[in-house]
A and B are shown apart, each in its own frame.
Chain A
Amino acid sequence: MIAGGAFLYLSIKKVIYKQIDNSLITEKTIIEDQIKQTDTIPDFEAAFGHQIEVKLLNYSVRNFQSIKDTNIYDQKTDSFIPFRYIYYSGNTHQKKGFIITILQLTSEKNELLQDVSLYMFFLFFSLLLISILINYLIARKLWRPFYNSVKIAGRFDIQSDKPLELPETDIIEFNQLNEVFDNMTRKMRNDYLNLKEFSENASHEIQTPLAIIRSKTELLMQQKKLNKESLSLIKSINEAVSRLFKLNQGLLLISKIENQVFHEIKLVSLKKITVQGLENYKEIMQLKNIKVEIDASDEALVEMNEVLADVLISNLLSNAVRFNIDGGFIRCNIDNKYLTIANSGLPLSFNPEDLFRRFHKNSTNPQSVGLGLSIVKKIADSYGMLITYTCHDATHELKLQYRLKVNKEQSFR
Chain B
Amino acid sequence: MKVLIVEDDRSLSRSINDYLKMEGHICEVALTFNGALEKTSVNKYDCIILDIGLPDGNGLDLIRKMKSNRLTGGILVLSAKSSLDDKLNGFKIGADDYLTKPFHFAELSARINSIYRRNNFLGMNEITFNEIKINTEDNQVYVKDRLLTLTKKEFDLLLFFVANRNRIVTKESIVEHLWGDNVILTDSFDFVYTHVKNLRKKIVAAEGRNYIKCIYGFGYQFTDN
Chain A positions near chain B (C-beta within 8 angstroms):
204, 207-208, 210-216, 218-219, 221-222, 228, 231-232, 234-235, 238, 241-242, 245-246, 249-250, 252, 256, 261-262, 277, 280-281, 283-284, 286-287, 307, 310, 314-315, 318, 321-322, 365, 367-369, 371-372
Asked if B56 lies at the interface with its beta carbon under 8 angstroms from chain A, I say no
- The answer on a CB contact under 8 Å between A214 and B102 is yes
Asked if B42 lies at the interface with its beta carbon under 8 angstroms from chain A, I say no
Instruction: Evaluate whether A249 and B12 lie within 8 angstroms (CB atoms) in the complex, with A204-B81, A222-B22, A222-B167 already known.
Output: no
Instruction: Evaluate whether A215 and B19 lie within 8 angstroms (CB atoms) in the complex, with A208-B9, A221-B168 already known.
Output: yes
Instruction: Evaluate whether A261 and B167 lie within 8 angstroms (CB atoms) in the complex, with A208-B101, A287-B190, A314-B182 already known.
Output: no
Q: What are the 5 A-B residue pairs with the smallest beta carbon separation, nearest first?
A: A211-B102, A215-B15, A367-B187, A207-B80, A211-B101
Pick 6 A–B contacts, CB within 8 A, sort by A: A208-B9, A215-B102, A218-B15, A219-B15, A261-B85, A367-B188
A-side contacts of B192, CB under 8 Å: 283
- Known contacts A208-B80, A219-B15, A261-B84; 8 further A-B pairs (Cβ under 8 A): A204-B81, A207-B101, A210-B101, A211-B101, A212-B12, A214-B102, A218-B104, A314-B182
Contact of A219 among B105, B182, B187 (CB under 8 A): B105
B-side contacts of A216, CB under 8 Å: 11, 15
Of all chain B residues, the one with the shortest Cβ separation from A371 is B185
Give B71-100 interface residues, CB cut-off 8 Å to A: 80-85
- The answer on a CB contact under 8 Å between A232 and B183 is no
Of all chain A residues, the one with the shortest Cβ separation from B215 is A231
Contact of A241 among B81, B102, B186, B195 (CB under 8 A): B102
Contact of B216 among A231, A242, A262 (CB under 8 A): A231
Asked if B179 lies at the interface with its beta carbon under 8 angstroms from chain A, I say yes
B-side contacts of A245, CB under 8 Å: 102
What is the bound-complex CA distance between A238 and B215, given in angstroms? 14
Minimum distance in angstroms from B43 CB to a CB of chain A? 24
What is the bound-complex CA distance between A222 and B190, given in angstroms? 22
Instruction: Evaluate whether A218 and B105 lie within 8 angstroms (CB atoms) in the complex, with A246-B184, A283-B195 already known.
Output: yes
- The answer on a CB contact under 8 Å between B185 and A315 is yes
What is the bound-complex CA distance between A79 and B223, given in angstroms? 128
Minimum distance in angstroms from A153 CB to a CB of chain B? 35
Number of interface residues of B (CB under 8 A): 41
Minimum distance in angstroms from B106 CB to a CB of chain A? 8
B-side contacts of A284, CB under 8 Å: 183, 186, 188, 191
Minimum distance in angstroms from A306 CB to a CB of chain B? 10
Contact of A318 among B102, B185, B190 (CB under 8 A): B185
Of all chain A residues, the one with the shortest Cβ separation from B102 is A211
- The answer on a CB contact under 8 Å between B102 and A307 is no
Of all chain A residues, the one with the shortest Cβ separation from B8 is A208
- The answer on a CB contact under 8 Å between A256 and B83 is yes
What is the bound-complex CA distance between A17 and B24, given in angstroms? 127
Contact of A283 among B81, B187, B194, B216 (CB under 8 A): B194
Instruction: Evaluate whether A252 and B82 lie within 8 angstroms (CB atoms) in the complex, with A208-B101, A238-B172 already known.
Output: yes
- The answer on a CB contact under 8 Å between A369 and B185 is yes
- The answer on a CB contact under 8 Å between A287 and B19 is no
- The answer on a CB contact under 8 Å between A249 and B82 is yes
- The answer on a CB contact under 8 Å between B19 and A318 is no
A221, A281, A321, A367: residue with the most chain B Cβ atoms closer than 10 Å = A221
What is the bound-complex CA distance between A307 and B187, given in angstroms? 21
- The answer on a CB contact under 8 Å between A231 and B218 is yes
What is the bound-complex CA distance between A231 and B187, given in angstroms? 20
What is the bound-complex CA distance between A210 and B42, given in angstroms? 33
- The answer on a CB contact under 8 Å between A277 and B182 is yes
Minimum distance in angstroms from A263 CB to a CB of chain B? 11
- The answer on a CB contact under 8 Å between B12 and A215 is yes
- The answer on a CB contact under 8 Å between B170 and A212 is no
Minimum distance in angstroms from B165 CB to a CB of chain A? 12
A-side contacts of B182, CB under 8 Å: 277, 280, 310, 314
A218, A245, A281, A287: residue with the most chain B Cβ atoms closer than 10 Å = A218
- The answer on a CB contact under 8 Å between B9 and A232 is no
Contact of A322 among B18, B101, B167, B186 (CB under 8 A): B186
What is the bound-complex CA distance between A322 and B104, given in angstroms? 24
Asked if B16 lies at the interface with its beta carbon under 8 angstroms from chain A, I say yes
Of all chain B residues, the one with the shortest Cβ separation from A276 is B182
What is the bound-complex CA distance between A219 and B168, given in angstroms? 10
Minimum distance in angstroms from A295 CB to a CB of chain B? 23
What is the bound-complex CA distance between A213 and B11, given in angstroms? 9
- The answer on a CB contact under 8 Å between A232 and B217 is yes
Q: Mark B150-186, 1 if CB is under 8 A from A, else 0.
A: 0000000000000000011010100000010011111
Minimum distance in angstroms from B201 CB to a CB of chain A? 16
Asked if B129 lies at the interface with its beta carbon under 8 angstroms from chain A, I say no
B-side contacts of A322, CB under 8 Å: 185-187
Instruction: Evaluate whether A280 and B183 lie within 8 angstroms (CB atoms) in the complex, with A204-B81, A215-B102, A238-B170 already known.
Output: yes
What is the bound-complex CA distance between A215 and B106, given in angstroms? 10
B-side contacts of A280, CB under 8 Å: 179, 182-183
B-side contacts of A204, CB under 8 Å: 80-81
- The answer on a CB contact under 8 Å between B184 and A215 is no
- The answer on a CB contact under 8 Å between B15 and A212 is yes
Of all chain A residues, the one with the shortest Cβ separation from B14 is A215
What is the bound-complex CA distance between A318 and B191, given in angstroms? 14
Minimum distance in angstroms from B121 CB to a CB of chain A? 31
- The answer on a CB contact under 8 Å between B191 and A283 is yes
What is the bound-complex CA distance between A365 and B82, given in angstroms? 28
- The answer on a CB contact under 8 Å between A219 and B215 is no
B-side contacts of A215, CB under 8 Å: 12, 15-16, 19, 102, 105
Minimum distance in angstroms from A320 CB to a CB of chain B? 12
A-side contacts of B190, CB under 8 Å: 287
Minimum distance in angstroms from B10 CB to a CB of chain A? 10
